[in-house]
Amino acid sequence: MRALSGAPCPPRDEVLPVQASLSRPAAATILAIALAAVGLGPAASPAAAATIPAGSGSYTDSRPAGTSGPTTNTGAPVTPKVTAAARNKPVPTNDWWSSLAYQRYGDNPYSTPMYGHPLTYQATSGGLEVGYPTTPAIVGEGRQYEYAHKADLTVGLSGLNSPDTKADDWSDWTVTPYWSDGTRTLRTTIGHGMPFVYAKGSGGDARITTAGTPTVFADNGNVLGVTVAGHHYALFAPTGSDWAVSGSTITAGLGGKDYFSLAVLPSTDALATYRKYAFSFVTGSKVAWESAGGTVRATYSLTTEAKEGSERGTIQALYRHQWLHTTDALTPYTYVSPRGTMKVRESASFTTSQRNQGVLPALPASSGVDKARLTGYLNEVANASDPFSGASDTYWTGKALGRLAQLVPVADQIGQPGIRDKLLGLMKGRLQEWFTAGGAAEFSYDKDWKTLTGYPASYGSDTELNDHHFHYSYYVYAAAVIAQYDQAWAADSAWGTMVKTLVRDTANPSRTDTAYPFLRGFDVYAGHSWASGHQGFAAGNNQESSSESVNLSAGLVLWGSATGDTGLRDLGSYLLTTESEAITQYWFDADQQVFPGSFGHDTVGMVWGSGGAYSTWWTANPEEIHGINVLPVTGGSLHLARAKAAVKRNIAEMERENGGPAVEWRDLLWQFESLADPAAAKAKWDAGNAGYTPEQGESKAHTYHWITTLDSLGAPDMTVSGDIPTSAVFAKNGVRTYSAHNHGSTARTVTFSDGATLSVPARSTATGTGTGGGPDPEEPGPSTGNTFRLKSGGTLTTATDGAAGADTLASADGVNRDGTPYKPTVYEVRKVDGKLSAGTSTTFRLRVDAGTKVGLAPQARVSYDLTGDGTFDRTETFRYFATDPVTGWEEYTQAAGTAAVTGSLGDLKGGTVRLEVWNALGNGTSQVQTGTDAAVVKIPYV
């Protein structure tokens, strides 16, 4: 049975692990809480209040009669499972480790599996299970891949038998579980990207219990190297201690100290490197972001304390969405994860830099839109007998608000102020109902969980703390559209405080706010949000509709821009830009480097801690599996155009699985396709726009405007960004159209990264071909040479400075991979302009080394995307190079000859050149040199 289009049926929590909590979709006593520096307005402690004023609005501190707050799976009320030290600290529910604090299942007072990557964890009575899953399983009739948690060992203390595990401390992406049985206490600090587990214990010896008898590969007293289930671990006890191995039990006295640690090693020869950081204990994690000049930069830092010696550094494993966008030095070490290869950095911090993914209030005006026809479609919505379609709960009310919000700037654009103002009135009226306590719909604050819940609730937003970022995204976005036209309505003294309170619940930028947690659902290190409030699944946490998460980020950009709150605007830019890359890689597998080769799908509907699933919470209909990560289509959806080839593959797979073009969600999927191929989408609209029923968050007015506008202007050009976040670029037949909205009270000039400028009047949108323009200064092409060096981190560059390094080529896993890239190491340069040089061809010089491994065969493929649209027009696969089993670099060049060539070359116009290198044969890893003149690709262009 399928739900109404647009949201899932209520989740069935007990289905594990394939499914997870869908997370969708009178007199008062006031205690004001100051929020200096974050601009989120006044807050109130609900300690003794019944109704809490918030500007013109209000909310309550007690739930409406007959409703529930967070419960266990049996319906019993539940409070946060934290230590006394953490009791007054807001819990960031909807995280990768939330089951430590939220006891969803009454018979499990410890945790469900938690996926930190590269390590996985599960709390038990005796301590912390630790695993490193490296082999994927395909389950659910081929619809899900997972690297499921399986314990290699358990970290504990001799005799530890704790009745529960509690969250004792946490920071941006680390957490410290706590065990106590009255005699012994144990704390461990774990986190994303951390190959170490840092332990502090009292009342017993350090005890490591392995899943099987370990193989010892190094024994240096207090430092022990063991191999368990094919994975290598290093154990570190205080200096002067000695590890003792007895069967599957390893113990060490702590000699009056209270600390020890362990690390999973990428290889046994990494022990010396990791040993340096064994006693540099991580004590916290923090991200700092900035958005300026069209670029979003983020720095991810760990704080440490030296338990021995003076070393304060550490080791971090970066996810693909991070190492693709850093120029910081990386080591040759790598790890396996459900998100593809993780690369290792020796440092306590790293920085990423990405183009700002722009947001527009609406697509710009274009000649392709028939204003009379569009006016007719607009009137159908504005004059409907019930514009909210009977919606009563937070989710479906939000969907209806979103549908109206998309049409306000469209009506304004075509000179229909009457329709615009009618739509604005409808939105204001409904928001004000929700923003006022005591009516049929209201928001209520839970002092235990420090969260704001809307009632009537839906999809577990109350009982499981699911989906607040999904539901409230529509309210924030709608409020931002209202603020664009009516700033007085959005003032803190009016309705702005209630909007900001919803923001505090879902995306609070403050770490010192005692009423709401920092970024409740957004996992800054994983790069995306999580939907389940309790994370109570064997597969970890999950997120289905990544696009509704982006809807909140886009709403923050627009709200912050409209109200002059640059802090919230820039937060929105950081969240959107970061999650955009995560969606591109982990939901759509745009580079085809993440999903296992045995997983037969090009996209997933849901990302899990353990992997991903080609499914939704409520239906197996391919249209909804593909469409759930598209809706709602807004001016914040343009980022999806950054990987056009992936969009085309996505649509093609949907039609294969569906047995033909979309029927139920055709409007969403037409709009999605138009981001990569506007003409194809327009043809489908022309053929099928009569007689269809819009998806419930959509309207014919919006779909018509979207498709015809992109058909006129071209698809979004994501290689160029403007210096304000409310800007975008479109390209058709080599011509770029620039658009920006200026929310400010004075005119301004917007400068784009290709040098073009656009004058934008105050409180207006401007569109044009721009003035100036030229090559992107951040991505030099062949104008500075046609020879590119390989740079660790996946880059081809014309720069000749930089240190020599090496990247690891993954094993072929004993299977013949000749001709087909398998877990390739990829290097790429974009925005390349060049004229094809007659009589020349691709050449390359690569230094490779298999060490002493026998029978390896590195192989290279060079691909050309001539226009940068995401489709590679030419691929050249070269014959593999058989390495010798002697340590030392060997040279592999184009002289090996081509094994296969497809497509044709032509001039490069903002094109992309990609080099893929992989092992075609053998059962071991090898290396390829980077950063030298012996690590180059020369393209046949001038």
- Phi and psi dihedrals of 16, rounded to 5? -135, 150
* Residue ranges of E strands in 314-441: 315-318, 334-335, 342-346, 349-355
Residue 467 falls in the annotated catalytic set: yes
How far is the CA of 487 from the CAs of 429, 743, 852, in angstroms?
16, 11, 69
Question: In the structure encoding, which two tokens stand for residue 785, read together?
Answer: 């040479």
d(CA 136, CA 126): 28
Taking a C-beta distance cutoff of 8 angstroms, is the pair 25, 8 a contact?
yes
d(CA 624, CA 271): 48
Integer Rg of the chain from CA: 28
Which of 168, 181, 393, 467 is catalytic? The answer is 467
Residue 544 falls in the annotated catalytic set: yes
Residues 6+ apart with CB under 8 A from 904: 873, 874
Taking a C-beta distance cutoff of 8 angstroms, is the pair 738, 769 a contact?
yes
Which of 95, 129, 181, 548 is catalytic? The answer is 548
In the three-class reduction of DSSP (H, G, I as helix; E, B as strand; rest coil), residue 196 is classed as strand
- For residue 680, the 8-state DSSP code is H
Which of 377, 254, 372, 244 is CA-nearest to residue 701? 377
Which of 398, 531, 412, 411 is CA-nearest to residue 477? 398
Residue 891, Cβ neighbours under 10 Å: how many?
12
- Sole residue written with tokens 């019930």: 386
d(CA 307, CA 491): 51
Residues 6+ apart with CB under 8 A from 385: none
Residue 548 falls in the annotated catalytic set: yes
- Phi and psi dihedrals of 674, rounded to 5? -65, -20
Per DSSP, the residues of 442-494 read EEEEETTTTEEEEES--TTTTTS---HHHHHHHHHHHHHHHHHH-TTTTSIII
Taking a C-beta distance cutoff of 8 angstroms, is the pair 515, 89 a contact?
no
d(CA 381, CA 363): 19
In the three-class reduction of DSSP (H, G, I as helix; E, B as strand; rest coil), residue 548 is classed as helix
Which of 464, 544, 565, 677 is catalytic? The answer is 544
- For residue 185, the 8-state DSSP code is E
Question: In the structure encoding, which two tokens stand for residue 127, read together?
Answer: 């301590």
Q: Report the catalytic residues.
A: 467, 544, 548
